[in-house]
Amino acid sequence: CTNVGSNTVTLTVTDVNGNVSSCSATVTVEDNVDPDCAAQDITVQLDDTGNASITAADVDAGSSDACGIEVVRVTPSLFSCDNVGTPVEVTLTVLDNNGNTSTCTAMVTVEDNVDPIAACKDIAVSLDASGVATITGADVDGGSTDACGIASYTVVPDTFGCANIGPNAVVLTVEDVNGNTATCDATVTITEDVAPECTAQDYTVMLDETTGLASITIDDVLVDVSDNCTAPDDIKTAIDITEFD
C-alpha cells in the first residue's frame, strides 16, 4: 500500500561480453479495492432535552481496509422525540486512504426513559349544593413539563364531600407520551359556602279577646329546612317576631 501511485523502476541489461546499459520505466500501483464496511444495530437514550446523537464509531462493527481507513461517517446522526418507537435506518460510509468507499446500514432504536418533571400547586374548592366537589389533575398541575410531551394528569383523591372540609393531601401523577411518570404532592382545601334553604308558609293568628295580644312559634311558619352539609335537626332556626298586638 505504501507504493500506491507512480513508481520509477530501472531495467539493467548486460550482454555476454559484460557490456551494461539501463533504462527506466514507471510502474503505477493502484488500489481499487473497496473497504470492508461492517455495522451493528444500537439503542440510544434521549437526554432531558429530548435529543440524542451518535457517532460513526457507535455503529461501526469493525470496518477494515488493507491500506487503512481515512474516515467513517454515519447519517443521520441526530435523533429526537419523533424517532421514539420506530427504529431508524442509518448509513455508515467508510472511506479508505486511497479514496475507495463502501456503505452498509444499521438500525438505531431510540428510547425515552426520562421521567417528566411534576410540579403541583395548592388550590381551594367549594362544595356544591349537593355537598360534593370534584377536581381534575389539571386543577393542581403547577406547570409540569416533559421534553417529549405530557399525555395525562391524574390526581388522587379527586372527589370530596362534607367530611373533607378543610385541607386535604392529594397526589398528582404526570405521565409523558412514552409512559414515564412522576408525582408531586398538593393540598386541596375544601370549603362549604352554600347557605341553608328554608321554606315558610303564611300563617294567620287571632288576637286574644282579653289581652289583645297574639304569639306564634317558629314551627307555625316553618315548613322545611335543608343544607348540603348539615342535618335538618342540627340547623339553627330563629324567627325575628313572635309577639303581635
Cα gap 77→70, rounded to integer Å: 19
The pLDDT value given to residue 233: 81
Q: Does position 245 have pLDDT exceeding 90, yes or no?
A: no
Cα gap 58→39, rounded to integer Å: 9
Lowest-confidence region among 4-18, 117-131, 229-243: 229-243
Query: Do the beta carbons of residue 69 and residue 5 sit within 8 Å?
Result: no
Residue type, 186: A
This prediction has a pTM of: 0.76
Query: Do the beta carbons of residue 192 and residue 222 sit within 8 Å?
Result: no
Query: Do the beta carbons of residue 170 and residue 156 sit within 8 Å?
Result: yes
Q: Cell 306564634 belongs to which residue?
A: 216
How many other C-beta atoms are found inside a 10 Å radius of the C-beta of residue 116? 23
Cα gap 245→242, rounded to integer Å: 11
Q: Does position 196 have pLDDT exceeding 90, yes or no?
A: no
**What pairs with residue 182 in β-bridges?**
174
The pLDDT value given to residue 67: 92
Cα gap 106→92, rounded to integer Å: 8
Q: Does position 225 have pLDDT exceeding 90, yes or no?
A: no
- Nearest 5°: phi and psi at 73? -125, 155
Mean pLDDT of the chain: 94
How many other C-beta atoms are found inside a 10 Å radius of the C-beta of residue 178? 19
Rg of the chain (C-alpha set): 44
For residues 48-60, give the mean pLDDT: 97
Cα 194 vs. chain centroid, distance in angstroms? 39
For residues 34-57, give the mean pLDDT: 97
Our CA dihedral for 33, 36, 37, 40, rounded to 10 degrees, sits at 180
Query: Do the beta carbons of residue 225 and residue 215 sit within 8 Å?
Result: no
Cα 139 vs. chain centroid, distance in angstroms? 18
Cα gap 105→60, rounded to integer Å: 10
Cα gap 207→213, rounded to integer Å: 5
Cα gap 68→56, rounded to integer Å: 16
Q: Is 161 buried (19+), middle (13-18) or exposed (0-12) by CB count in 10 A?
A: middle
- Within 182-235, residue ranges assigned H as helices are 218-221
Q: Cell 455508515 belongs to which residue?
A: 92
